[in-house]
Amino acid sequence: MTTAITDKEFALFQRFIYDAAGITMSPSKKALVMSRLSKRLDLRKLPTFAEYFKVLSSGQDAQEVQLAIDLLTTNETYFFREPKHFDLLREQAEQARGRGQPFRVWSAACSTGEEPYSIAMVLAATLQTTPFEILGSDISSRVLERARTGHYPVSRTVHTPKAYLQQFCLRGTGAQEGTVLVDRPLRDKVRFMQVNLNTTLPKIGPFDFVFLRNVMIYFSADTKRQVVERVLSTLKPGGYLLIGHSETLNDLNASAAAVAPSIYRKPC
């Protein structure tokens, strides 16, 4: 059985995840780090977290490094989180209906996929024949694999409009009771890729909307400034950046104007 993580060992993993993803872990995350990494130590028969850190820092096991990043960055989410954002998305999609260019949205920290599929439901129901494209990205390859399946516990859908559930989801029966599956046509509307917001972004824009929600709270001020600058560069003029309600762009000198709490717009 794995021994408890020491303060010194925890500091090693604080530095590890900051260097890998720009995420600042507070001391309150010590128990989380221990619980999420203990199985890796047991599997590799390592006696201490310091020994496991040596494996990660050796540069000889990229797969293990990715596994550790996945374990330390995964967060629970659910469909239609922060509904006012989806109301705005619906309003803008209605205005875009009938135009020739695709309506493009990036879910920039999509975790297990509930956010991009929520976006897809709104756009599919609103845009009708107008084309749209959705990109869901995350630093964790493990959550992206789950996202691609589109398979979730029913509890994740409690805030989903009933009409959307009926139109876009299949309810599990028998062994799959208590779950829902996003139907194949909607899943095919969402593309997933691994993106580290803390490094140079791939050529993925421009977008009408970017959802960058509930991820900046883990970044230092300098990292936050750099990430926001990168993300804003992918927005079309007049495009919207949506962040978490506990987040703000104040003091970042961002080239986006506040429209409402957690809603920003890039100048036209």
Q: CA quadruple 256, 205, 77, 217: dihedral positive or negative? A: negative
Q: Which run of H or E residues covers position 243? A: strand 235-243
Nearest to 122 by CA among 74, 172, 190: 190
How crowded is the C-beta side of 124, counted as CA atoms within 13 Å? 21
Separation CA 30–CA 208 (nearest Å): 38
Taking the C-alpha atoms of residue 194 and residue 261, their distance in angstroms, rounded to an integer, is: 28
DSSP-assigned states of every residue in 44-105: TT-SSHHHHHHHHHTSS-HHHHHHHHHHHH-----TT-SHHHHHHHHHHHHHHTT-SSPEEE
Residue ranges of alpha helices (H) inside 188-260 are: 221-232
Of 201, 181, 215, 180, the closest CA to residue 74 belongs to 215
Element housing 106 (H / E): strand 103-107
Active-site positions read 36, 138
Q: What is the dihedral of CA 177, 183, 189, 190, to 10 degrees?
A: 10
SS3 180: strand
Which residue, among 261, 225, 223, has the nearest Cα to 242 in the 3D structure? 261
